[in-house]
Structure 1
Amino acid sequence: MHTANRWLVLAAVMTAFLPVVVDLTILHIAVPSLTVALGASGTEVLWIIDIYALVMAGLLVPMGTLADRMGYRRMLLIGLILFGIASTAAAFSPSPAMLIASRAVLGVGAAMIMPCVLAIIRTTFEDDEERAKALGLWSVVGMAGAAIGPLVGGLLLEHFWWGSVFLVNIPVLAVVIPMVWRLVPKSVGTGSGEWNIAQAALLVAGLVLTVYGIKTGMKGGIDGVVASSMFAGLALLTWFGRLQVSSSNPMLDLSLFLKPAIAAGMLMAFVASGALAGFELVLAQELQYVLGMSPLNAGLFMLPLVVAAAVGGPIGGHLANRVGLRTVATLSMAGASSALFGLALVDLMASRLVTATLLAVLGLCLGIGLLASSIAIMGSAPPEKAGAAGALESTGYELGGGIGITFFGVMVNSLYFSAVSQASPAAADAGGSIGEAMTTALRLGGDQGEALRQFARDAFSEAHGTVLLITGVMIAVLAVAVFMSLRGAERMGAARH
């Protein structure tokens, strides 16, 4: 690689990575707009949001193995083209089902892009110091992309329709595809690892069926379809687990969970990414549905949360080296729990400064928690299993995000539905989510529509507060578990950042 070219290669792959991370959060702010436009139910909205992360999580490891075989440049270009096609299809989706399918294909494209970006950086920068600098720049782009997602979404929705949050990817891809074609050198695939696409399909199918059963069951009760879906999903996940344990070349090395620090790190990665993604989604809905904010103002209101989460990683790495991993990991979870309790009890609009402070504390603590989980996992893995540990960690993050959105969305929607069905059968007929109630209110119009809107706002706000209290208790319990599990890991250094 020519000296002058390698930084241009880094610019190309970081630009390729940007739409993938922005798409994890940009849609949160667009939920109210697309719910009304497409007439999406509460369950459909949750699928639109988290099918992306669920598909990506299941395919990250096998796509990485396939990229080793095909060559990173070829795989990256295919992934970018697929991402562009799926973005266009999503933007012009006429129905919730079409949008869910498009988001699933986006997840496939993202799973092809992400492993290639890291692999190209590692092979392009041979000097350890330069590689560390390049990976540092890459991580900043990742954190900043997720942080600006809601703000970019708000800006677009201020002037355009909801599909613009997908269509914005096209100009970026139009620039980055020629950059990758011209700048990234051709490489011949050298990987010989087993390509477990069947196992990946098993994992994705198991997750989707289980999550479908949970979402549908909590909204409409357990019937034959729901029970069958959950049973089939859990059976597939159990089968997947057995295959990993018995295989000599498993897709995910589950034996790593036998180390307490790795198990604690995975739990932290899962909970921290899930709490951040789920809370962001529900907060964006409350700000727009209940408090009447525009998408742009909602994006600005959420800035303390997302910016603090973005800077939490570097701060966490510094603190872990100074005071030890166990202390940092425990305090970050305890801080996140306290912030959730505060947000459940405070009036978001009456105490703007207090709210902004609590949002910043929550974001900072969850960002630090994600970094601490990375240190625990990568620092405890034996050198010969570092690749497997990295794959496990990435899968944990993506799964955490998807399941977190499911947990927050299903809990809020079920508590909301319980409140409206007990108090007003007419309101219950409007559906199982605030989005469905707002769509019905728009159709009714007049005093009847406004009464339904106000009733739905009150029920949703109360449900959101209850879920924050439940989550706060869960993370407080996790803080104790982390403190117990990381005994002896006090001075583990920062592995990634």
Structure 2
Amino acid sequence: MTDTRALAPTTTRAGWRAWTALVALMLPVLLVSVDNTVLTFALPGIAADLAPTSAQQLWMIDAYSLVLAGLLVTAGSLGDRFGRRRMLLIGASGFGIVSVLAAFAPTAELLIAARAGLGVFGAMLMPSTLSLLRTIFTDRDQRRLALAVWASMFSAGAALGPILGGFILEHFWWGAVFLLAIPMLVPMLILVPLLVPESRDPRPGPVDLTSVALSMATMVPIVYGIKEIAVHGLSGTTAVLFAAGGGFGWLFVRRQLRLPVPMLDMALFRRPGFSGAVLVNLLSVTALVGFLYFVAQHLQLVVGLAPMIAGVMLLPGMAAMIVGGIGVVPIARRYSPRAVIPAALAFSVAGYVMVAWSGAHELGVLIAAFAVLGVGIGAAETVATELVLTRAEPEKAGAASAVSETAYEVGAVLGTSILGGILTWWYRATLDVPVGVPEELAFASRETLAGAMHAAETVGGVAGEALRQAAAVAFDGGVVVTSLIGAGLVVVAGVIAATTLGRHREVDRR
């Protein structure tokens, strides 16, 4: 008797139209990923122009990722109900408009608000891409390659952001980094309606506003608490914030378990390999974004490279991520993910250890470390993303996609909040402002590295040079500590992969 599964759409191989559609769907992936990190290279210019506090500087980066992560599951549910392609196009249009507003923001507060608005529309972009890819590529091998390209482009976009930012800042003002969304969105708005078929869940659940509110109420207090620790240290306020976030998270899970059609099916997390793969992605992105947070400032403010040159220094790492992400595909066909992912992450640990060992003083070591780290992150994320999707039924692809992308975005928030926060705390705790620096400039120096370098230039002379050296020493000391913590996070991800993922290749549920 013929196996009916052999007659399933998995036997249909995609043609040129599907691969061209993949190119179109890569544009929103690159856009959202680039926007996660592009701001890091613009921070010195923003700090000089808008004079943000250290907390505001962190919020400029995290407001985008925080809002996006909080709304991903909601946007995925709306896409299932109203059409994933339609949601993609709405998100792209709104993202372009708010990008223009961010480019011309006159104050730090308005820039933070614009970044939050970008997160709203970015959430509409991301859940659609993986769901649509699973619809377009029904052949398992082709879909595996398409997912590898997706994961590689997301990782590469994190590195491409500073490179594009460096090029733009070499010729324009800081607000121009937001305008790069326009040339990426225009071709997408043209190609997606022509090449990407509409896709909906045939049995969508209702939009539950209470679940939406609970998901946001879970994330905001926790991330804000991390920021408060970074700026002010442990306090009663931070304890209240963490307790509030944990409480709302418990209510969110409880509600999902009771709803007939939950916004997020919690049963997915009980499946072997699903939760482990999500955690691997979360910790990998945390380590990657944390690395980019300090390397961008080190190259510009400590080494003294121009933004464009600093961006070019990251090209080997970006290429390594792409090579690692796509090159792991044939390896993942033959070996278990519990072996492939830890082996890949060992490269990332080595990259962080290289930075900690050199103290970030040697430029060549820093560039090589990013390349080694990139190979591991790119390979691990490719395998983990495939596991997330293949462990869910096709009708739950939207929910699985939202969970996977939430892990990416939460990782981006934690990378800046935890690693960036620890770096900020170390810098402020160890900076020894030399005698001769006026009090107002000393205060600015303790707030941010950019503030210290600007103050050193203003003071000039022996005192200015002493301040510059003191700031560089304090910052690079924090880089060593942050690198060791980043290495520890990657080790944890490797242990999770080795202990939670199955011994054999995961079964494709399509």
TM-score bracket, shorter-length normalisation: 0.7 to 0.9
- Map of 2:367 onto structure 1: 356
1:425-436 to 2 correspondences below 5 Å: 427=442, 430-436=445-451
Decide whether aligned partners of structure 1 residues 256 and 288 sit closer, same or farther in structure 2, where only a CA change above 3 A counts.
same
User: What's the CA shift string for 1:302-361, capped at 9, x where partnerless?
Assistant: 222222122222223322223322221222233322321121111545461x44332211
- Map of 1:314 onto structure 2: 326
Is 1:412 aligned to residue 420 of structure 2? no
- Between the aligned partners of 1:166 and 1:231, the Cα distance in structure 2 is 35
Could you tell me whether the CA contact under 8 Å between 1:441 and 1:452 is conserved in 2? yes
Is 1:213 aligned to residue 228 of structure 2? no
The letter for the 2-side match of 1:395 is T
Is 1:101 aligned to residue 113 of structure 2? yes
- Map of 1:464 onto structure 2: 479
Could you tell me whether the CA contact under 8 Å between 1:421 and 1:428 is conserved in 2? no
1:229-308 to 2 correspondences below 5 Å: 229-308=241-320
Is 1:203 aligned to residue 218 of structure 2? no
2:352 to 325, 334, 340: 340
1:147-186 to 2 correspondences below 5 Å: 147-180=159-192
User: What's the CA shift string for 1:363-405, capped at 9, x where partnerless?
Assistant: 1112222223234444555677555433322221221121122
1:32-43 to 2 correspondences below 5 Å: 32-43=44-55
User: What's the CA shift string for 1:121-147, capped at 9, x where partnerless?
Assistant: 555567777767766665555454444
User: What's the CA shift string for 1:222-258, capped at 9, x where partnerless?
Assistant: 4555444333333222322322333333333333333
- Between the aligned partners of 2:321 and 2:20, the Cα distance in structure 1 is 28
- Map of 2:505 onto structure 1: 492
Q: CA deviation at 1:62?
A: 1.7
Could you tell me whether the CA contact under 8 Å between 2:332 and 2:383 is conserved in 1? yes
Could you tell me whether the CA contact under 8 Å between 2:231 and 2:424 is conserved in 1? yes
Q: CA deviation at 1:455?
A: 1.1
Q: CA deviation at 1:7?
A: 6.2
- Map of 2:412 onto structure 1: 401
- Between the aligned partners of 1:115 and 1:398, the Cα distance in structure 2 is 12
- Map of 1:53 onto structure 2: 65
The letter for the 1-side match of 2:474 is A
- Between the aligned partners of 2:490 and 2:75, the Cα distance in structure 1 is 32
- Between the aligned partners of 2:273 and 2:207, the Cα distance in structure 1 is 29
User: What's the CA shift string for 1:164-183, capped at 9, x where partnerless?
Assistant: 11012223334443444666
- Between the aligned partners of 1:429 and 1:159, the Cα distance in structure 2 is 27
More displaced, 50-59 or 190-199? Answer: 190-199
Matched position secondary structure for 1:101: helix
Decide whether aligned partners of structure 1 residues 248 and 264 sit closer, same or farther in structure 2, where only a CA change above 3 A counts.
same
1:474-489 to 2 correspondences below 5 Å: 474-486=489-501, 489=502
Decide whether aligned partners of structure 1 residues 314 and 295 sit closer, same or farther in structure 2, where only a CA change above 3 A counts.
same
Q: TM-score, normalised by structure 2?
A: 0.85
- Between the aligned partners of 1:453 and 1:463, the Cα distance in structure 2 is 16
1:391 to 402, 411, 417: 402
- Between the aligned partners of 1:86 and 1:161, the Cα distance in structure 2 is 18
The letter for the 2-side match of 1:100 is I
- Map of 2:12 onto structure 1: none
- Between the aligned partners of 2:489 and 2:456, the Cα distance in structure 1 is 35
Could you tell me whether the CA contact under 8 Å between 1:320 and 1:491 is conserved in 2? no
Q: CA deviation at 1:259?
A: 4.0
User: What's the CA shift string for 1:29-68, capped at 9, x where partnerless?
Assistant: 2222222222122222221112222222222222122123
- Map of 2:3 onto structure 1: none
More displaced, 167-176 or 374-383? Answer: 374-383
- Between the aligned partners of 1:495 and 1:65, the Cα distance in structure 2 is 23
1:28 to 15, 37, 40: 40
Matched position secondary structure for 1:431: helix
The letter for the 1-side match of 2:505 is M
Q: Please give the root-mean-square deviation of Cα atoms over the aligned residues, in Å.
A: 3.3
More displaced, 178-187 or 111-120? Answer: 178-187
More displaced, 109-118 or 373-382? Answer: 373-382
- Between the aligned partners of 2:481 and 2:146, the Cα distance in structure 1 is 43
User: What's the CA shift string for 1:54-89, capped at 9, x where partnerless?
Assistant: 222222222122123223443233211210111011
- Map of 2:379 onto structure 1: 368
- Between the aligned partners of 2:377 and 2:21, the Cα distance in structure 1 is 32
Q: CA deviation at 1:470?
A: 2.4
Decide whether aligned partners of structure 1 residues 116 and 442 sit closer, same or farther in structure 2, where only a CA change above 3 A counts.
same
Could you tell me whether the CA contact under 8 Å between 2:352 and 2:486 is conserved in 1? yes
- Between the aligned partners of 1:455 and 1:494, the Cα distance in structure 2 is 56
The letter for the 1-side match of 2:248 is L
Q: TM-score, normalised by structure 1?
A: 0.87
The letter for the 1-side match of 2:340 is V
Q: CA deviation at 1:284?
A: 0.6
- Between the aligned partners of 1:495 and 1:38, the Cα distance in structure 2 is 51
Matched position secondary structure for 2:206: coil
- Between the aligned partners of 2:421 and 2:41, the Cα distance in structure 1 is 18
Figure out how many residues of one structure are paired with residues of the other and give that number. 492
- Between the aligned partners of 1:316 and 1:116, the Cα distance in structure 2 is 25
- Map of 2:6 onto structure 1: none
The letter for the 2-side match of 1:437 is A
Decide whether aligned partners of structure 1 residues 184 and 388 sit closer, same or farther in structure 2, where only a CA change above 3 A counts.
closer
Q: CA deviation at 1:291?
A: 1.0
Could you tell me whether the CA contact under 8 Å between 2:432 and 2:470 is conserved in 1? no
The letter for the 2-side match of 1:463 is G
User: What's the CA shift string for 1:79-134, capped at 9, x where partnerless?
Assistant: 11210111011111112211111111111111112233444555556777776776
Could you tell me whether the CA contact under 8 Å between 1:375 and 1:494 is conserved in 2? no
- Between the aligned partners of 2:30 and 2:150, the Cα distance in structure 1 is 10
- Between the aligned partners of 1:229 and 1:74, the Cα distance in structure 2 is 37
User: What's the CA shift string for 1:395-422, capped at 9, x where partnerless?
Assistant: 2122112112211110000111111269
Decide whether aligned partners of structure 1 residues 293 and 255 sit closer, same or farther in structure 2, where only a CA change above 3 A counts.
same
- Between the aligned partners of 2:155 and 2:348, the Cα distance in structure 1 is 18
Unaligned runs of 5+ in 1: none
Could you tell me whether the CA contact under 8 Å between 1:69 and 1:192 is conserved in 2? yes
Matched position secondary structure for 1:490: coil
